[in-house]
Amino acid sequence: MGQGKPQGRRLVFGFWGISLLSIVWTILLALDLVPVLRGDYGWRWPYAKPDAPERLLPLVGVASLTLLWGLSTFRRQSTLWLLAGAFVATPMISLASIYVVEPDVHFELYARTISPGATGWHYAATDIDDLQSTLERWPEFMDSYEDASSHMTTSPPGLPLAYYAAIETLGDHDWLSDEIAPGLRADQCHNDRVVGWSLYEGYSDAELTAAWLGMLMPLWAGFVVFPLYWLGVRLFSETAARAAALWWPLVPSTAMFAPNPTPLYALLGLVTIGLLYEGLRRNQRLWLVGSGMAMSVATFMHFTPAPIIFLAGVYTLGYYWRHRTERSLSVVWPVKQGLWFGLGLVTIWLVYFGVSGVTPFSILQQSFESHLALKRPYVPWLWLHLNDFFMFTGWGLALLALAGVWRTSLRFCQPEQLGDGDVLVISATITLIVMDISGTTQGESGRIWLFMSPFVLLAAAAYVAGRPNIGARDLYSTTSITLSQVIILVVMVGFLRVMGSGLHKPPEKPPSLSNAPQTEVLAANAVFGDVLVLESFAGHIVPAPGEDQPTLALWLNWRSTGQLDAPYYLAFLPVAPDGQAVPPAVVVQPFDGDYPVTCWLPGSGAIKDKYEIPLSVADVEGDWWVSLALVNGRTGEQLTVVDALGNEDTQVGIGPIRLRAQEDLLLR
């Protein structure tokens, strides 16, 4: 007992030393004194000082509350409240991180979800017209996104199919998408792919609403705390499990890459190892098959978490090595366990093969052809990949985990002194080393390897919980580690720009006119589609000098009372004084497509635009009229219009419009 307190004090000093190193690292990063910390040799995370430092305050506040909540619940040994706090903190910290770079968090999550560059899976799902045909040619489908989405060029069918299933389900329950879609359409009302006014068909209400599957990724990330805690309890201790769960929301990679689905890979990776452990411990096949099925789902979503299969194999061998004598396990025992795991692993892929005739190997080949084409230099990235991974996990926690690995390795040759958790620490370390030296990762390991971060947290927590004088009631002595993790998170969010969408908000107001009409403004009061009100108009005919065609100049003044779901074109057909139409009709997008009618909202205010309609006749004397219709460019449908007298039609007449002498006009 006499040596316990000095050892405990040395340990606390060690925690403060690690914390100090972490803070020094954050200073170097914040001042960009060592750019190589952000990467090199083909990939470097962009650096930028905060545009609005005050927007860091919500992140500082939520992360600090997470720290205080963790300390409070640790002292009260309140596991349920700690897990609830960690679960809530995960999406809150992620949203606060987005707020630092974009105050409109909803828009940024939405834009990243539908962007082909930031994610790509929702983007691809909207391209699926014939599901069966797409499944049968999935490698070609992947390759077709070479210029649009690097994520899709390496993606198995799982994630696009999840969005596709959401689209189909929402299509059958349009009461929900009818409520949600308009706001999403308004956020990208000028995006051709979303509203479809030129090259694309536009998104349906169901396709827009399905974006919420990705927009809720910060919430899905919160569920990781539950299998993380469960695995920690089973393999280490209650104290270690609660510490790991507390740290999960503070992992920079968890917070900074939403709505990238990497937290789902971490979730399924933990479930895989948790079920595997139960299967090995109980020697029951069902657990092993279930473990394999969890990884089958994960690899069907993406090949990124495939190294968990290797981790599962190494852990099985380590478990066998540790228990072979006490449980009298035969030499073929680990092979049998692997076969049951493998049975679960192939389940989803067998179903897919039966439906499509496509093997996972052909998809994997296509994925590698796209992924390895980056050709990053091998030797420098042996260090840079680890640096990136530890940076986005948190250097303080990474150093604690490395201390735990060192402690475990010292008694590696004495199986009786190892616990099942120690075997997992060694297995995860071997897996990480193999991942690094394999050369299969081509940068961005901080994001891609997030599925390994929970094992780093467990190793760090196990090291802390297993040291002298660190118990369930006084783990708050490690406050410095958690505090340094908060600082790392805030600095990385503040100074690194790791994710964007490439999409922009639409204009809040319509473009302003450079000139006003020089003739009398006449009332129109025509209502198109119960939404767009043509309040008034003005116009005149400009005579043509020489052999040029005369032009009908027309100013339209609109007001919107709602939102249209399609970017209707304005179709103008001149009508001569004798009542005969004078083709050709002029069909245009308002404001040259910069502000299509899908952007015309009640908040747009007065919407004023000018159009010039060439007339194909020389004699322009008399009262001319214009037949105005709003036409859906995809379907040819004309929007119903009710004129000032209450007559309903698909067009409305605007006039009379007369010739004005050229010298009387101040047109530019």
Q: Tell me: the pLDDT tens digits for 157-204?
A: 999 999 999 999 999 988 999 999 999 999 999 999 999 877 788 999
Taking the C-alpha atoms of residue 598 and residue 203, their distance in angstroms, rounded to an integer, is: 12
Taking the C-alpha atoms of residue 89 and residue 69, their distance in angstroms, rounded to an integer, is: 10
pLDDT above 50 for 532: yes
Q: What is the pLDDT of residues 624-668, one digit of tens each?
A: 999 999 999 888 899 999 999 999 999 999 989 998 754 344 333
Q: What is the pLDDT of residues 444-473, one digit of tens each?
A: 899 999 999 999 999 999 998 876 555 444
pLDDT above 90 for 104: yes
Q: Which residues contact 621 (CB under 8 A, 6 or more apart)?
A: 577, 659
Tokens 């649009």 correspond to: 148
Element (H, E) at 648: strand 648-649
Q: What is the pLDDT of residues 202-218, one digit of tens each?
A: 999 999 999 999 999 99
What residue ranges in 543-606 does DSSP mark as E strands?
551-560, 569-575, 586-588
What one-character-per-residue DSSP string does 370-421 give?
Answer: HHGGG---HHHHHHHHHHHHHHHH-HHHHHHHHHHHHHHHHTTT-GGG--HH
Count other Cβ atoms within 10 Å, centred on residue 450. Answer: 29
pLDDT above 90 for 430: yes
Taking the C-alpha atoms of residue 224 and residue 265, their distance in angstroms, rounded to an integer, is: 10
Q: What is the pLDDT of residues 482-491, one digit of tens each?
A: 999 999 999 9
- When pLDDT is cut at 50, 70 and 90, the band that residue 536 belongs to is very high
Tokens 């405990």 correspond to: 8
Tokens 């802390």 correspond to: 464
Q: What pLDDT is recorded for position 13? A: 61
Tokens 């989405």 correspond to: 149
Q: What pLDDT is recorded for position 477? A: 53
Q: What pLDDT is recorded for position 668? A: 33
Return the structure tokens found at 512.
């302003």
199/374: higher pLDDT: 199
* Cα-Cα end-to-end distance for the chain: 93
Taking the C-alpha atoms of residue 112 and residue 512, their distance in angstroms, rounded to an integer, is: 30
Q: What pLDDT is recorded for position 10? A: 56
**What's the CA angle centered on 586, arms 582 and 588, to 5 degrees?**
165
| Closest by Cα among 352, 346, 271 to 308 | 271
Give the single-character DSSP code of 21. Answer: H
| Closest by Cα among 35, 176, 193 to 111 | 193
Averaged pLDDT for residues 380-395:
94
| CA distances to 124, 135, 337 from 129, in Å | 11, 11, 41
Taking the C-alpha atoms of residue 163 and residue 145, their distance in angstroms, rounded to an integer, is: 17
**Local structure of 483: helix, strand or coil:** helix
| Sheet of strand 569-575: strand arrangement | 586-588, 569-575, 624-631, 652-657
Q: What is the pLDDT of residues 301-351, one digit of tens each?
A: 999 999 999 999 999 999 999 999 889 999 999 999 999 999 999 999 999
Q: What pLDDT is recorded for position 221? A: 98
470/65: higher pLDDT: 65
- When pLDDT is cut at 50, 70 and 90, the band that residue 591 belongs to is very high
pLDDT above 90 for 515: no
- When pLDDT is cut at 50, 70 and 90, the band that residue 143 belongs to is very high
Please give the biggest Cα pair distance in the chain: 112
pLDDT above 60 for 33: yes
Averaged pLDDT for residues 588-615:
93
Taking the C-alpha atoms of residue 455 and residue 240, their distance in angstroms, rounded to an integer, is: 12
Q: What pLDDT is recorded for position 665? A: 42
Q: What pLDDT is recorded for position 472? A: 44
Return the structure tokens found at 439.
């050369």
Q: What pLDDT is recorded for position 1? A: 40
Q: What pLDDT is recorded for position 373? A: 65
pLDDT above 50 for 474: no
| Closest by Cα among 603, 511, 608 to 562 | 603
Averaged pLDDT for residues 16-29:
90
**Local structure of 504: helix, strand or coil:** coil
pLDDT above 90 for 412: no
Residue type, 15: F
CA 86 to chain centre: 21
Q: What is the pLDDT of residues 537-574, one digit of tens each?
A: 999 998 877 657 889 999 999 999 999 988 999 999 99
Average pLDDT, the chain: 91
| Closest by Cα among 552, 475, 648 to 74 | 475
Q: What pLDDT is recorded for position 377? A: 83
Return the structure tokens found at 478.
């490690």
Taking the C-alpha atoms of residue 662 and residue 104, their distance in angstroms, rounded to an integer, is: 49
Please report, rounded to a whole number, the percentage of residues in the chain having pLDDT higher than 70. 94
Q: What pLDDT is recorded for position 428? A: 97
Buried b / exposed e along 296-325 (16+ C-beta atoms within 10 A): bbbbbbbbbbbbbbebbbbbbbbbbebbee
Residue type, 176: L
Highest mean pLDDT among 241-250, 438-447, 541-550, 611-620: 241-250
